[in-house]
């Protein structure tokens, strides 16, 4: 599932290609991805408008249009947003001036594409927590929220009201680097470990961001040390790179959690 680093890399890639272009047509091949809106509504709101900016909030890509409208795209598990000459197997695509198309593909049709007013977007995203790679991600606030939460550490991190854009993969990696058991209630976690977790979230996301930029702009051309390789995520039964103990997988909140039972206590 695309998380903050991948979503930001996509935003950076498409922004210079579509900013300043005008939408000349809208096509919806799978109605499920635009619910609760209708195809006719999407077309009416977007057609003829100029793309003025491409931003990101959490895992949302926000394509700002003239007249105060926004195309909000959430990729979910398998979504992809790109600029192409043809619609291909797209679920939704927007014809642009200059013969290009803004194309949303999604094999499982779990993602969402909607056209909203700026006010509607602000309301929809109002509960998102701070961006972890910004100055808003303050240790004091993170520590206070952790002290009030009885939720297990992994589920606390997956709650987008605490950290916007952090998902399953990088939450597991941050917990591993902080040596924190994903099952431990945050309110019972020592302040020193909460501070370590805050630091490792930023560290992991910065590394993943660098890797994602390379992956989306020059696929397969990683130099040594550039590709982000998870230490625990997806490695059930493999040896921990620190202590050699076998990595475990458990289920939390309907998602897999990977951790080292010796290092993470």
Binned at pLDDT 50, 70 and 90, residue 222 comes out as: low
Using the predicted structure, report yes or no on whether residue 159 has a pLDDT greater than 80.
yes
Q: Are 208 and 230 in contact (CB under 8 A)?
A: no
User: For residue 227, what pLDDT is reported?
Assistant: 84
| C-beta neighbour count of 39 within 10 angstroms | 15
CA distance 51 to 67: 10
Residue 214 or 95, more confident: 95
pLDDT > 70: percent of the chain = 97
Q: In the numeric block, which tokens belong to residue 260?
A: 């080292």
Q: Where in the chain is the domain with CATH 1.10.8.50?
A: 139-259
Binned at pLDDT 50, 70 and 90, residue 226 comes out as: confident
3 given a catalytic annotation: yes
pLDDT digits (tens, 9 = 90+) for 2-49: 899 999 999 999 999 999 999 999 999 999 999 999 999 999 999 999
Burial of 124 (0-12, 13-18, 19+ CB in 10 A): middle
Q: Where in the chain is the domain with CATH 3.20.190.10?
A: 4-124
- DSSP structure string for 90-136: -SEEEEETTS-EEEEEETT---EEEEEEHHHHHHHTTT----TTSTT
Binned at pLDDT 50, 70 and 90, residue 223 comes out as: low
User: For residue 238, what pLDDT is reported?
Assistant: 98
Length of the chain in residues, anyone? 265
Whole-angstrom CA distances from 182 to 10, 148, 170, 195, 263 are 29, 17, 12, 15, 11
Using the predicted structure, report yes or no on whether residue 96 has a pLDDT greater than 90.
yes
Region 106-120: mean pLDDT is 96
Binned at pLDDT 50, 70 and 90, residue 215 comes out as: confident
59 given a catalytic annotation: yes
255 given a catalytic annotation: yes
Catalytic choice (50, 184, 255, 262): 255
User: For residue 86, what pLDDT is reported?
Assistant: 80
Binned at pLDDT 50, 70 and 90, residue 140 comes out as: very high
Catalytic choice (21, 56, 59, 101): 59
Q: Which helix (H) or strand (E) holds 23?
A: strand 23-28
CATH superfamily of domain region 4-124: MutM-like, N-terminal (3.20.190.10)
Domain 139-259 listed as CATH 1.10.8.50: yes
Region 100-123: mean pLDDT is 96
Catalytic choice (2, 130, 152, 182): 2
């Amino acid at each position: 599932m695309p998380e903050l680093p991948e979503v930001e890399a996509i935003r950076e890639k498409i922004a210079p290609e579509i900013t300043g272009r005008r939408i000349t047509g809208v096509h919806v091949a799978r109605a499920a991805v635009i619910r609760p809106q209708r195809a006719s509504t999407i077309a009416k709101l977007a057609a003829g408008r100029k793309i003025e900016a491409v931003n990101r909030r959490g895992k949302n890509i926000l394509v700002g249009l003239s007249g105060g409208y926004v195309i909000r795209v959430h990729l979910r598990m398998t979504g992809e947003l790109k600029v192409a000459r043809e619609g291909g197997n797209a679920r939704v695509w927007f014809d642009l001036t200059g013969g290009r198309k803004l194309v949303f593909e999604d094999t499982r049709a779990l993602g969402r594409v909607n056209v909203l007013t700026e006010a509607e977007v602000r309301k929809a995203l109002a509960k998102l927590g701070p961006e972890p790679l910004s100055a808003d991600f303050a240790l004091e606030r993170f520590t206070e929220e952790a002290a009030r939460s009885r939720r297990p550490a992994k589920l606390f991190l997956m709650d987008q009201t605490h950290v916007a854009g952090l998902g399953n993969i990088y939450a597991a990696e941050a917990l591993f680097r902080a040596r924190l058991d994903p099952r431990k209630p945050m309110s019972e976690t020592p302040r020193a470990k909460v501070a370590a977790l805050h630091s490792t979230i930023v560290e992991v996301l910065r590394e993943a961001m660098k890797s994602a930029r390379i992956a989306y702009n020059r696929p397969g051309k990683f130099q040594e040390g550039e590709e982000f390789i998870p230490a625990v995520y997806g490695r059930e039964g493999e040896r921990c790179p620190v202590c050699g103990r076998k990595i475990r997988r458990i289920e939390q909140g309907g998602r897999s959690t990977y951790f080292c039972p010796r290092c993470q206590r």
